[in-house]
Amino acid sequence: MGDGANAARLPKLPVSEVLGDITKALSDEARAVLSAPPGAGKTTLVPLALLDEPWCTGKIILLEPRRLAARAAASRMASLLGEPVGERVGYRMRLDNRVSARTRIEVVTEGVFARMILEDPELAGVSAVLFDEYHERSLDADVGLALALDVQSALREDLRLLVMSATLDVERVAALLGDPAVIKSEGRTFPIEIRHRDRSAAERIEDVMAATIIEAHRGEQGSILAFLPGQAEITRTVERLQGHFGAETTVVPLYGNLSQKEQDLAIRPAPAGQRKVVLATSIAETSITIDGVRIVIDSGLQRLPVFEPSTGITRLETVRVSRASADQRAGRAGRTEPGIAIRLWHQGQTAALPAFTPPQILASDLSGLVLDLAHWCVQDPATLSFLDPPPAAAYNEAKGLLVQLGALEETGSLTEKGKLMRDLALPPRLAAMAISATEEGLGQEACLLGVLLTEQGLGGNDVDLDERLKRFRHERGDRADAARKLAQRIAASLPKTSQSPEPATAGRLLIHAYPDRIALQRGGRGRFVMANGRGAELPETERLSASRMLVIADLTGRAAAARIMAAAEISRADVEAELQHAIIEGDECFFDRASRQVRARKVTRLGAIIFDERPLPRPSGDQAARALAQGVRELGLQVLPFSKEGAQLRDRIGFLYRTIGEPWPDMSDEALLARLEDWYVPFQGNTSGLDAINPGSLSEGLRSLVPHEVAQDLNKLAPTHFTAPTGERHPIRYDGEEPVLAIRVQELFGLTKHPAIAGGRLPLLLELTSPAHRPIQTTRDLPGFWAGSWKDVRAEMRGRYPKHPWPEDPAQAQPTTRAKPRGT
């Protein structure tokens, strides 16, 4: 077969039909997009077919989103070549490398490729980069593709790029690549019967899943692949299936925290005459084939990380799968024979599913991305080709964090510490921890802890990281051994220092990774407030719940009630020793929500954590006004005592902003809260509490926002009142889309022109009322009302209010505020 693969001798799979189109496209344009459904064979056949191309003189890099998929793809390609993994086909991932000098196809995880291209922008010795399963839209894949496109356009015109996916928004991806050839493979040839089993909200997913598996196992042949959102649901489903099958059926879990041996066991074909029930997360959606599966049962759920930039917390949310994911999962049933896909939701709900899974770049911690781009000398991500640009808020928060960690200058350029951090195979926070620990002779311990925190399941699942670190040091198994070796390699790349004789606690190390998550117990056992101002909780049964102080490495849940997943105990002495520069002592003015007053105190604090405080005399002046403004931000604008005139003034100015626009200022709650320093603070003088605010000062503040050049037009464009023909003044409301005048109909008698403002250009919406001030009609055309529906109103009202005039021709009648004289 030679050094290449010779496409003619590869097995015939659906993608075989388009291999010629792919090779031609990459020969002509150097870029292409391949869309092929599950089972088409794209992952294994395409790289092998490209080895024979004249332009392919170097390596082919195949990117996979998961380690399991990378190992499986390399193993399958190596077997097709009749070789062990590590010869012409190898793989490279964080904890495991199997490559050699002969390796021509390297299957790498997406994070590994990002490091490869950042360390060698020319990708020397690489002929092609293939992005497999790009539809999963991992952050690393998006970054890798953006950098690869940049390299190809600036340094390597000969570099081939192929984006492959089972379900893909083809038009957007092709546009990103400059509209190259788009090749589509038809995929599987076996039909799949889609069935539905509706699940009510009251039914637990593991109960419904277990019952459906048992029923399908009894009524159908073949192995079963069941998709569940996470490890916890898989474990509970395994428990419910115990005792329901004989020795001929094996139940195996498949999720990311399992060892390589356990994952390989799950995807290995069942022995002849045996059946398997594989309970998997989304890890089994793509790239891997579990032979013998002809039944797929889909919970319709997945667990996705969602990052909150303002808190730095990534929480896992259980959400509905996308239609693309549902199709991917169903496709697993039709690999080798006709199959069945059972969906645990009502058929009508499928149309309501999102089309695609949201890309990670829109809901991820971007600190690693910002650090990588700074190394790439890019400060504005818009200069690179991202399918979805990183959100500005998350990007800026990440930059702020990196400045705090000492990785970036305020200008955005890398510091010396930042360069060292980027070289470490750790996320930025943990890299900063390792560097700081090295200065104290604790680098090896810090690297061990850093690897523990990035590889789920190592050392167990205890919340207490000191306990997990202790177990990890002596944990057996290939994965634990590989993780410890990785920690040693990272430590070896740190500056050489003498090792400290003192044992390092996890908390002391983590202070430098999570200074914003140092937490003080407040409100009782298990309740903590972090330096970033957010609360966090532990069950009272946890040992750490009694701790006075913690540093928190992992949380989940909403910011208002985040649950601590991993933490370590620390003392105030630890914080003072490690973060003395961040501890502030001084006088401060603050808003006390309980009393709604401004108070002053002398404090010693770390962020929102107050170590010591004592009261000071009540403040006044600008300092008090600013503290009171903070109280308004916390409680909302509704706490301010606007007078009727002040509320109307706000409505009038707001109406002009909505209809005319600038320079009239925005009067919405959001806008006014954002500008409290402009219109509120300067007018509060010696006010020290919300209840002492003078309503007139609020009106004065609002007027100050109106530019001088238009202020004189306010009364002309939006007058406060309308003067009726009777001489009475009636207020005009401006709180809606148009100005409204509520007035008794008798006061408008004799008026033949519709009331208007703004020099007669803008008619008022009239809310005409009865003598009892009850609404009887609304109109924007008073003359038309007199000539039209007045007749019907008069007929109804004159009997109800006989003491008041109801003339046949109101346009010619005298306006009045009184009833008819007696006897008339």
Determine the Cα–Cα distance for residues 112 and 328; give it in Å rounded to an integer: 25
Asked whether the beta carbons of 62 and 130 are under 8 A apart, the reply is: yes
Q: What confidence score (pLDDT) does residue 572 get?
A: 93
Q: Which long-range contacts (CB under 8 A, 24 or more apart) does 90-93 make?
A: 93/67
Q: Residue 153 CA to chain centroid, in angstroms?
A: 31
Do the domains at 7-184 and 192-358 have one common CATH topology?
yes
pLDDT band for 121, please (50, 70, 90 cuts).
Answer: very high
This prediction's pTM: 0.73
Determine the Cα–Cα distance for residues 545 and 562; give it in Å rounded to an integer: 14
Return the domain boundaries, the chain.
7-184, 192-358, 462-582, 588-715, 719-812
Closest CA to 148 of 181, 108, 89: 108
pLDDT band for 287, please (50, 70, 90 cuts).
Answer: low
Mode of pairing for the β-strands spanning 765-769 and 740-744 = parallel
Q: What confidence score (pLDDT) does residue 122 get?
A: 92
pLDDT in tens, 22-63: 999 999 999 999 998 877 888 999 999 999 899 999 999 999
Give the N- to C-terminal CA distance of the chain in Å, as an integer: 116
pLDDT in tens, 188-238: 668 889 999 999 888 999 999 999 999 999 999 999 999 999 888 999 999
Q: What confidence score (pLDDT) does residue 560 get?
A: 61
pLDDT in tens, 484-543: 999 999 999 888 876 766 778 999 999 999 999 999 999 889 999 999 888 999 999 999
Residues in the chain: 824
Asked whether the beta carbons of 418 and 466 are under 8 A apart, the reply is: no
CA atoms within 13 A on the CB side of 521: 15
Q: What percent of the chain is modeled with pLDDT above 90?
A: 59
Determine the Cα–Cα distance for residues 262 and 258; give it in Å rounded to an integer: 6
- According to the CATH classification, is domain 7-184 in 3.40.50.970? no
Instruction: State mean pLDDT over 662-690.
Output: 91
- Alpha helices (runs of H) in 497-620, residue ranges in sequence order: 506-510, 572-578
553: Cβ–Cβ under 8 A, 6 or more apart, which residues? 453, 465, 510, 513, 514, 517, 565, 566, 567, 568
Residue 356 has pLDDT above 70, yes or no: yes
Q: What confidence score (pLDDT) does residue 478 get?
A: 83
Residue 124 has pLDDT above 70, yes or no: yes
Better pLDDT: 739 or 623: 739
Q: What confidence score (pLDDT) does residue 559 get?
A: 59
pLDDT band for 266, please (50, 70, 90 cuts).
Answer: confident
Q: What are 195's strand-pairing partners?
A: 342
Q: What is the DSSP string of 199-248?
A: --TTS-HHHHHHHHHHHHHHH--SEEEEE-SSHHHHHHHHHHHTTSS-TT
Tokens of 243: 């005792």
Q: What is the DSSP letter of 463?
A: S
Q: What is the DSSP string of 244-294?
A: SS-TTEEEEEE-TTS-HHHHHHHHSPPPTT-EEEEEE-GGGSSS---TTEE
CATH number of 192-358: 3.40.50.300
From edge to edge, which strands make up the β-sheet containing 160-165?
97-98, 89-92, 105-109, 59-64, 126-131, 160-165, 31-35, 181-184
Better pLDDT: 78 or 310: 78
Residue 823 has pLDDT above 50, yes or no: yes
Q: What percent of the chain is modeled with pLDDT above 70?
A: 96
Instruction: State mean pLDDT over 602-622.
Output: 89
Angle (CA) 395-109-296 rounded to 5° is 105
- 3-state SS class at 564: strand
H/E element holding 722?
A: strand 721-723
Instruction: State mean pLDDT over 615-625.
Output: 86
pLDDT in tens, 551-586: 999 888 765 668 899 999 999 999 998 898 889 999
Q: What confidence score (pLDDT) does residue 1 get?
A: 40
Average pLDDT value for the chain: 89
Which of 225-234, 340-349, 556-565, 776-785 is the least confident region? 556-565
